[in-house]
């Protein structure tokens, strides 16, 4: 009977704090849909996502403001092509273009290289009209990585470079190179071919992005609490859509869910919800906010940044957790008492999401991400169907209960 009562108590807490998982899933479906073009820099995907989020906040009953800023970004509105022999490879599936790449069009002779040839006393010369195809398997020590980097930088001055990889992971950046770096799945690159054709035509643009800020009045305005998540993703590379369901439509939808909860349950302190843009481009949006804050950063009691919130099957990890041992002990006690998530892992300081600039300014800040069975990351497979929402309501409950201890 005692165990049954404990179970019912836990079930009641989860039910009480879990807002509307159907709405959360719906928000992720919308944000990761082709309509928003990967929430990036082609077809104004990021701008469309901003409009959607402001509308959702209005539906919740909250007013929002925006903070605009600009930065340069390399975009890929036109399809790139890679044909090896007679086989045409597919963007996103078989290959990606490094976001720092420049324009190229031509037919080239393949020169195959591997770790042994790169680390030899004399690296083979590259004939005119050739392209190095580097098998990166076994290039993993710092010295080996440095040798590869130096070789690639030198080779890029004369033409494109191909890197064979076991996983394709795209990103966002400015155009730095005159020629393209092309990453190709090792399993997709045909054996025995001597020629290939490459065509890339990226366009660097000056992009204007928006941070979205909303506030819920607390019982006290002496201090502030802040929840953050980034809503941008990678956008599109030609016809390849990088939808970003797990990263970070899930965190964005969780932020909306928390805003909905606190709109109905007045928090102890004034509470801000900030939806950042520019995270994938180098934490640009959060850096801009910290440089031009819309509230007094010295009043922030605690900041919680949410990213990759789609599956806590194995628990959660907290970056900066080791910097706030007393706070984390309180969270661990809540988790143990209510038996919510399997594990809470604490990490140290890292510049891997939007908490970072706040922490650098002395604001107490943590970054929470879930740990589960989602393997899709910065690729075309990060779609809504990969998100299983394991322990979502438990994580939500943990967040709400933790905030009560602040």
pLDDT tens sequence across 1-50: 434 344 444 444 444 455 689 999 999 999 999 999 999 999 999 999 99
Same domain for 192 and 272: no
Same domain for 169 and 134: yes
pLDDT at 322: 97
Same domain for 314 and 174: no
pLDDT at 4: 39
- Structural domain containing residue 192: 79-200
pLDDT at 140: 87
Same domain for 105 and 153: yes
Among 159, 178, 200, the domain boundary falls at 200
Same domain for 114 and 65: no
Same domain for 221 and 185: no
| pLDDT tens, residue by residue, 300-347 | 999 999 999 999 999 999 999 999 999 999 999 999 999 999 999 999
pLDDT at 13: 44
pLDDT at 121: 63
Same domain for 134 and 10: no
pLDDT at 38: 98
Number of domains forming the structure of the chain: 2
Same domain for 249 and 174: no
Same domain for 309 and 251: yes
CATH number, position 333: 3.40.630.10
CATH number, position 86: 3.50.30.30
pLDDT at 17: 56
Same domain for 110 and 19: no
Closest by Cα among 226, 178, 254, 187 to 354: 226
Same domain for 136 and 231: no
Residues of the chain with pLDDT under 70: 1-19, 121-122
Among 200, 220, 254, the domain boundary falls at 200
């Amino acid at each position: 009977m005692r165990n049954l009562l404990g179970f019912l108590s836990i079930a009641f807490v989860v039910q009480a704090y879990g807002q509307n998982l159907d709405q959360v899933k719906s928000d992720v479906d919308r944000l990761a849909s082709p309509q928003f073009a990967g929430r990036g820099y082609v077809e104004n995907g990021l701008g469309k996502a901003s409009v959607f989020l402001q509308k959702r906040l209005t539906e919740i009953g909250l007013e929002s403001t925006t903070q605009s800023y600009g930065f340069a970004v390399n975009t890929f509105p036109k399809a790139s092509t890679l044909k090896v022999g007679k086989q045409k490879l597919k963007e996103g599936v078989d290959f990606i273009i490094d976001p720092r790449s420049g324009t190229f069009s031509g037919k080239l002779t393949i020169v195959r290289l591997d770790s042994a040839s790169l680390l030899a006393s004399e690296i083979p010369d590259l004939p005119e009209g050739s392209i190095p195809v580097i098998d990166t398997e076994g290039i993993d020590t710092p010295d080996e990585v440095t040798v590869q980097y130096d070789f690639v930088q030198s080779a890029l001055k004369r033409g494109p470079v191909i890197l064979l990889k076991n996983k394709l992971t795209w990103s966002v950046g400015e155009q730095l190179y005159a020629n393209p770096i092309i990453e190709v799945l090792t399993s997709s690159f045909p054996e025995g071919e001597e020629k290939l054709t490459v065509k890339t035509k990226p366009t660097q643009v000056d992009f204007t992005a928006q941070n979205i800020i909303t506030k819920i009045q607390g019982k006290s305005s002496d201090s502030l609490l802040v929840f953050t998540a980034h809503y941008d993703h990678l956008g599109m590379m030609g016809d390849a859509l990088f939808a970003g369901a797990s990263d970070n439509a899930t965190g964005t939808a969780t932020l909306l869910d928390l805003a909905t909860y606190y709109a109905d349950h007045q928090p102890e302190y004034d509470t801000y919800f900030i939806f950042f843009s520019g995270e994938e481009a180098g934490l640009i949006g959060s850096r801009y906010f910290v440089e031009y804050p819309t509230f007094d950063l010295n009043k922030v009691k605690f900041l919680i940044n949410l990213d990759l919130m789609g599956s806590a099957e194995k628990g959660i990890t907290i970056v900066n957790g080791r910097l706030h041992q007393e706070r984390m002990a309180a969270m661990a006690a809540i988790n143990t008492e209510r038996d919510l998530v399997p594990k809470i892992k604490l990490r140290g300081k890292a510049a891997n999401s939007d908490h970072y600039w706040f922490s650098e300014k002395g604001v107490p800040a943590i970054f929470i991400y879930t740990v589960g069975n989602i393997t899709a990351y910065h690729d075309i497979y990060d779609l809504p169907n990969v998100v299983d929402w394991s322990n979502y309501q438990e994580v939500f409950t943990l967040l709400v209960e933790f905030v009560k201890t602040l």
